[in-house]
Structure 1
Amino acid sequence: MTATADVTALEHVLRERHSCRGFLPDPLDDAVIERILGMAQRAPSWCNAQPWRVTITRGAATEQFRTALRAHMHDTGSAPDIAFPAAYRGIYQERRRTCGYQLYDAVGVAHGDREASARQARENFRLFGAPHVAIVSSDAALGAYGAVDCGAFVTCFMLAAQALGVASIAQAALTAFSPFLHGHFGIPEDRSIVCGISFGYEDTAHPANRFRTSRAPLEEVLAWQG
């Protein structure tokens, strides 16, 4: 019975978690954040290296970062520590477009309205109004495998947050300004910034939170052998 309850609870958290794009300004208690981190710390990693390090803002520090980032983004081009995808092809491009169209439909951006879509994209750098952001970095010497381990940590972080009633969104967009992030947060140059996670309580009335993405059926991702 315990195993059944565990599976049911996990399935529920997986179904309910979604990328939140509109937050309430209310901050979380430190104890809640530490509980999320404590659960996320159970993430698996190669040789138990645990390469992730996390910088989390709260209060005035979040507002200072939000303001500084939005000012900085107008002065420089994209410079992520980890290269962005070379291309989205085939089904990956289709899924990306579908997600974008769902978001635009939810917030009332007409297809082809580049000014409005750019305005919505800039919400990334307002952290969607979240009261906290976590900046996740990896030891650069671990390369892709360190980033993969950090991906496991990010997943565990977001699932733990969801289980505690806290919304979140992982943001690769922030890493476009990695040199700025290194300087602003004092993150050493021998660490690669993997992503940000904006988090807090969801604004359930925000139109950007009214859609959900789909998942591919198993036959699209599974290849049996034997």
Structure 2
Amino acid sequence: MTTPRMHPDTIAAPVTRELVVKKSRFIAHLVPVRSVAEAEEVIASVRRQYWDARHNCTAMVTGVNGDQARSSDDGEPSGTAGIPMLEVLRRRGLTDVVAVVTRYFGGVKLGAGGLIRAYSTAVSEALDDAVLLHRRELLEARVDVPHADAGRIDNALRDWAATHGASFGDVAYGAAATFALWIPQAAREELADDLAALSAGSLSPVYGTTRIVDVPGDRT
């Protein structure tokens, strides 16, 4: 059996979290993005909103395999902000996410070690509030169902997807109701067997192509 290729996860929705360290406020903004250009737009938006802050430091990882990364210290001592933020994203195994940490200086210098801890902690604690999307290479499975049975099969397939690492896709209505699922390759025989059991052998899936699909997960 071929082991499915694993890809970095991403986050489902933006998250904001504030940390106070020796009177300095660190406001972490995490946003899912699809490209470097989109990440740059997020950074510009945060900088406009928090124009009066001392620093808006950034880190991003993009690409299906997380192969593009950038960071900026935005005036903090070199290596004390952007890179520590980036390392947190890498350590959590994430991609297609941008982190911006806004700092309002509280009058007490933190030193290089204190800054590294503050910026990395701000991102880490924000990620603790985030919901993951798992990136999986899944196989398309389509099932044609008579309209009379569509409601029952709809519920059964949604439950099946939720317990098999699959994603329930679109439903098309024509001569029959056509359900689309994206399933792990290893589950194709199990889906066929379960459909047969649900329908006294009258239903079977038709398999198509594979693609990368975001599957909802738990908090990071």
Q: TM-score range by the shorter chain?
A: under 0.3
The two structures have a TM-score, normalised by structure 1, of 0.26
Structure (1/2) with the larger helix percentage: 1
Higher relative contact order (CA 8 A, sep 6+): 1
Larger radius of gyration: 2
TM-score, structure 2 normalization: 0.26
Q: Which has the higher strand share?
A: 2
